[in-house]
Homo-oligomer: A and B are copies of this chain.
Amino acid sequence: MSFAADTAVTRLAPHEGTVRFAGEVHDGWDIGGNANGGYLLAIAARAMRDASGRPDPVSVTAHYLRPGKPGPVSVEVQPVKEGKTFASVRANLLGADGRPLLSLLGTFGTLSSTLDASEHHELVDAAPPEMPSFEECKPRQHAAELAPAFMDKVDLRLHPDDSVFSSGQKSGEARMRGWFAWPEGADGEREEVDTIGLLQATDAFPPTIFNVELPVGWVPTVELTTHVRARPAPGPLRCEFTTRFVTGGFLEEDGEVWDATGRLVAQSRQLALVPRG
């Protein structure tokens, strides 16, 4: 089992301008029975990327329509524009019954893996979150702490200050910081996180609002947009998610993903519904 294998898609014969793919929601990627949103996004984005003919997602938006269950899925991709720099496609990820689970829009291109400040004007008014090292942070594990099954599929290591929610406490800040990596395989090796993996990273962490005085429960994603800025260097990723506005039944979750060299590699924002409580 690997992320690449569990999100793989097979291209089928096209039909009236639609490029069709078959995939599968594998067991174990769920949180309370529903497949994790980042995982569904990764399956769809893999198909979109293939249809786009470009190596990297640049900006991908998914609207979450229905929960995904283990079993076969398909992705119907429609090319919208083939440009010199970018290709844009739209897609629906369909469940076994043919109803859409996610509707997506994406722009794909070729991202740099060695951002060269001399090539581009740079301005960065932020820094990766300060955290204890990857080795010092405790992995979240399914069996050990009643975390969702999904937590065995990723190696997620929360900042100790932000993981207090799991023992019923609240940090008081709507923030979740931690490391993201793929788990060690039987051979002791880890799959490296590529630009499709970054999409997963932006929707893998416990909700920020678990750390504030709001009801703890399912926080359904309405929409998630991820901007991928660069291909990450090998090594665990530093991630930070924050929420500033819980209003009118909605909240946003803003994410930043930094690679091992301290470079921002992805930025995300999702609109979600406040749990009823």
Q: Which residues of A does B touch, CB under 8 Å?
A: 58-59, 61, 63, 65-66, 80-81, 83, 86, 88, 90, 92, 100, 103-107, 111-112, 115, 119-126, 174, 209, 212, 214-215, 222-223, 225, 227, 229-230, 243-252, 263-264, 267, 269, 271, 274, 277
Q: With contacts A105-B104, A227-B271, A247-B124 known, is A88 near B65, CB below 8 A?
A: yes
Q: Please, which residues of chain B bring their CB within 8 A of the CB of A277?
A: 121
In the complex, 13 of the A-B residue pairs with CB atoms within 8 angstroms, ordered by the A residue number, are A59-B63, A59-B223, A63-B106, A80-B92, A80-B100, A80-B103, A90-B105, A115-B247, A121-B214, A121-B246, A122-B246, A123-B214, A126-B245
Q: Please, which residues of chain B bring their CB within 8 A of the CB of A263?
A: 247
* A66 and B115 alpha carbons, distance in the complex (Å): 27
Instruction: Name the CB-closest residue of B to A264.
Output: B245
Instruction: Name the CB-closest residue of B to A85.
Output: B273
Instruction: Name the CB-closest residue of B to A251.
Output: B123
* A19 and B9 alpha carbons, distance in the complex (Å): 31
Find out whether the CB atom of A274 lies under 8 angstroms from the CB atom of B120: yes
Q: List the 3 closest pairs (A to B, CB-CB), nearest first.
A: A123-B246, A59-B223, A61-B61
Q: Please, which residues of chain B bring their CB within 8 A of the CB of A65?
A: 80-81, 83, 88
